[in-house]
Structure 1
Amino acid sequence: MEVRVFGSRARGDFVPESDLDLCLILGDLTPEFERTISRVAWEVGFERGCVITTVEYTAEQVERSPLRVSPFIRAIQREGVAV
């Protein structure tokens, strides 16, 4: 599993109200696991007073599918900070 922070917090141009954008790249991804990720992100964000936004992809999607050349994925790969 790979987790990358992207967006304003990764670039360093965030403000206190900025959300925390996370990209999770997983070996396998089911709808149930996506719901769990969303729930946990909401709970942790609520506790910390920060909105956490997640996007989830499989390694297959970002490495071998047409999605790998999308501007969004390329920006995450270029600007994202691995955590």
Structure 2
Amino acid sequence: MREGEKRELKEFVDKVKVIAPDAEIILFGSKARGDETFESDTDILILLKNLDEEIIKKIKDIRFDIEMKYGLIISLLIHSKKEWESFPYNISEIQHFIKSEGVKLC
């Protein structure tokens, strides 16, 4: 990941933490593995203590602002921690990849 993207991603994380201080934010996919291409998006999992539609909307607004400001494309998955931990492990391939390759940002 280029240095500019790291700063842009940090700005996203910092802004999310203001509105959701208990959020767990995990980078996954090609940028977490270090095999991204120029066309790769930034895959982010956000785990919240409780799913709150207002918080989710604010997170999506932050994503939009970062995308417009920098052109950093962020693909979001947002779940409650309880929901994420209770997924049947054998049917969630993406969960397996995130657990094995994800990079916790906060």
TM-score for the superposition, normalised by structure 2: 0.69
**Runs of 4+ displaced beyond 3 Å:** none
Deviations 1:17-67 (A, max 9, x none): 21111101110111222222111112112211111111111110122x2x2
The answer for the alignment partner of 1:34 in structure 2 is 56
- Amino acid across the alignment from 2:83: Q
Question: Aligned-pair RMSD on alpha carbons?
Answer: 1.3
| Stretches of structure 2 lacking an aligned partner (at least 5 in a row) | 1-22
C-alpha separation between the residues in 2 aligned to 1:77 and 1:46?
30
Aligned pair 1:14/2:23, yes or no?
Answer: no
> Equivalents in 2 of 1:78, 1:46: separation in Å?
31
* Aligned residues with identical type, % of pairs: 31
Q: If each structure's helix is expressed as a fraction of its own residues, which one has the higher value?
A: 2
The count of residues paired between Structure 1 and Structure 2 equals 81
